[in-house]
Amino acid sequence: MSQIEKQKQSALKIVRTLQEKGHIAFFAGGCVRDQLLGRTPKDYDVATDAFPEEVETIFPKTLPLGKAFGVIAVIDNKEVIEVATFREEIGTLNGRHPETIMFSAAEEDALRRDFTINGIFYDPIADKLYDYVHGQQDLKRKIITAIGNPAERFEEDHLRMLRAVRFAYTLDFQLDPATADAIRTMAPLVKKISIERIETEFSRTLTESDRPGDALRTLLQLNLLEQIIPELLPLVGQKQPPQFHPEGDVFEHTVLMLNIMGQQKETLLQNPKYTPRELAYAALLHDVGKPPTAKMGTDQQGNPRIRFDGHDKTSAKMAEEILTRLKLPTREKKNIIHAIHGHMRFLNVKQMRKATLRKFIGSNTYELEMALHKLDCLGSHELMDHYTFVRDFQEKMRHEPILPEPWIRGTDLIKLGIPPGKQIGTLLKQAYDAQIENQFPNRDALLHWIKQIKDQ
């Protein structure tokens, strides 16, 4: 039995127990929506008319997860199911939490939820839907519609504006015009949300959608992108040489890359060598440094063309500032920055020494850098010769370690009379490069060569 099926069985058991005790109890929220869409739910939530104290009395293992808001976590067979008491919410304190809650009936509870498609209840025992907000209608229409007055829903929780975009692009729905208008007007309120909540919602949009590039465009049109990553706005209208970028400006290039990533996410975002978030942000930010480095120059034939010299380094620096602000984990941030900083070196892979290529293939970020380069090519000129060259080299090396253990160590050089210092580091690098380029048949031959060059 899968993990989600175990959770479903626990949720079903909780609903049955509550009903047997004389209470109303339903499945609620996303699990109902996903079931109606034929999708596998990510989790199961239960809504009930039982008060939190009653839930705690009925079930032997509970946690007061959000008791002040009527939410109790019930633990069944190691599965944690949130059980929420039907409630109304009055006012808002901080763009996230209500000033006051009042326990209520199911219909009032549905009316305080975010979107109609998330406001449907399902009784799994009676196999009956309770839809007080016309959510089924919007599921059929494929529309994301705020319940009631959109402005009021977004005032209650500002993050709902970002959630609306995520739902639209993970479900392949459209935004209701009135809902979109309210977001466009209220977008600056997003800045009041904690950066952790913003990053989670934004990252899910990038990694779970089939068209994250289109989602980015919608975030721009709704004035949300400037609240999250304003550094991306100058990409709009930033021209590029058409011979390399027939797709258009830098923003269109980024949109296209992200859409290709979404279309190929079953492979590109399932690589165990990097996280989905690492590739998404590497693609998103790899050219963020182009606008500040843009200038007119010439091509190899002396013809005028726009140039972005050093944009890889500038992009990496700007990405570090952005990712630090978004509070991404340090390891992921480091890998993303490294991939962005080196994304232009693919132009030189055919001229690289064998040792340099082997070190590249053996690096921790190799697969991330290759995925970024693949997207960069497919999202522009579609020339894959450098990508294919590196993959072919990798294939040729598959029968031997890419980065073998070095034959020569620092202790070996000290025995040769070389004092600790910079020279040892230089000689060790030379020795290792010679080793992995197969310039010498064994350790003794390599050591003999080091003896000859150490005094040069």
Helix (H) or strand (E) holding 27: strand 25-28
Close Cβ partners of 21 (under 8 Å, ≥ 6 residues apart): 50, 54, 58
Report how far residue 115's alpha carbon sits from residue 134's, in angstroms, rounded to the nearest whole number. Answer: 10
Asked if residues 19 and 48 have their Cβ atoms less than 8 Å apart, the reply is no
Segment among 108-112, 235-239, 296-300 with least mean pLDDT: 296-300
The larger pLDDT score, comparing residue 420 to residue 318, is at 318
| Model pLDDT for residues 144-165, shown as the tens digit of each residue | 999 999 999 999 999 999 999 9
Q: Whole-model pTM? A: 0.88
The larger pLDDT score, comparing residue 146 to residue 93, is at 146
Helix axes 354-361, 422-436, angle to 10 degrees: 90
| Model pLDDT for residues 37-54, shown as the tens digit of each residue | 999 999 999 999 999 999
Asked if residues 77 and 55 have their Cβ atoms less than 8 Å apart, the reply is no
| pLDDT for res 403 | 79
The owner of tokens 């590196």 is 390
**DSSP for residue 116:** G
Q: Which residue, among 128, 104, 209, has the nearest Cα to 162 in the 3D structure? A: 209
- Beta strand 174-175 with 295-298: parallel, antiparallel or unpaired? unpaired
Residue 91 pLDDT greater than 70, yes or no: no
| pLDDT for res 24 | 97
Helix (H) or strand (E) holding 75: strand 71-76
Report how far residue 73's alpha carbon sits from residue 45's, in angstroms, rounded to the nearest whole number. Answer: 10
Report how far residue 127's alpha carbon sits from residue 35's, in angstroms, rounded to the nearest whole number. Answer: 12
**Strands, E, within 124-213: which ranges?**
128-131, 143-144, 174-175
| pLDDT for res 68 | 85
The owner of tokens 């304003």 is 230
Between the alpha carbon of residue 224 and those of residues 169, 193, 218, 228, 296, the distances in Å are 15, 12, 8, 7, 32
Report how far residue 182's alpha carbon sits from residue 387's, in angstroms, rounded to the nearest whole number. Answer: 45
| pLDDT for res 99 | 65
Report how far residue 310's alpha carbon sits from residue 315's, in angstroms, rounded to the nearest whole number. Answer: 9
The strand pairing partners of 144, in sequence order, are: 175
Q: CA 212, 217, 219, 222: dihedral to nearest 10 degrees?
A: -150
Residue 127 pLDDT greater than 70, yes or no: yes
Report how far residue 23's alpha carbon sits from residue 374's, in angstroms, rounded to the nearest whole number. Answer: 56
- Beta strand 120-123 with 79-85: parallel, antiparallel or unpaired? unpaired
Residue 444 pLDDT greater than 90, yes or no: no
**pLDDT > 90: what percent of the chain?**
75
Report how far residue 41's alpha carbon sits from residue 142's, in angstroms, rounded to the nearest whole number. Answer: 18
**Strands, E, within 263-365: which ranges?**
295-298, 304-307
Residue 130 pLDDT greater than 90, yes or no: yes
Residue 300 pLDDT greater than 80, yes or no: no
The owner of tokens 């980065």 is 403
Give Rg (Cα) of the chain. Answer: 28
Ordered domains of the chain (ranges, CATH): 1-141 (3.30.460.10), 143-228 (1.10.110.30), 232-403 (1.10.3210), 410-453 (no CATH)
Helix axes 160-171, 212-221, angle to 10 degrees: 140
- The burial class, CB within 10 Å (0-12 / 13-18 / 19+), for 127 is exposed
Q: What distance separates the 2 farthest-apart alpha carbons in the chain?
A: 91
**CA-based torsion, 347, 351, 352, 354: positive or negative:** positive
Which stretch, 216-225, 240-249, 418-427, has highest mean pLDDT?
216-225
Report how far residue 168's alpha carbon sits from residue 238's, in angstroms, rounded to the nearest whole number. Answer: 28
**DSSP for residue 63:** E
Instruction: List, as one string, the DSSP characters of 197-266.
Output: HHHHHHHHHHHH-S-HHHHHHHHHHTT-HHHH-GGGGGGTT----TTT-TT-SHHHHHHHHHHHHHHTHH
Q: Specify the 3-state DSSP secondary structure of 309.
A: coil
Report how far residue 456's alpha carbon sits from residue 445's, in angstroms, rounded to the nearest whole number. Answer: 18
Query: Average pLDDT of 47-64?
Result: 96
| pLDDT for res 95 | 59
**DSSP for residue 115:** B
The owner of tokens 């907000």 is 133
Residue 315 pLDDT greater than 70, yes or no: yes
| Model pLDDT for residues 7-16, shown as the tens digit of each residue | 999 999 999 9
**DSSP for residue 22:** T
Helix (H) or strand (E) holding 130: strand 128-131
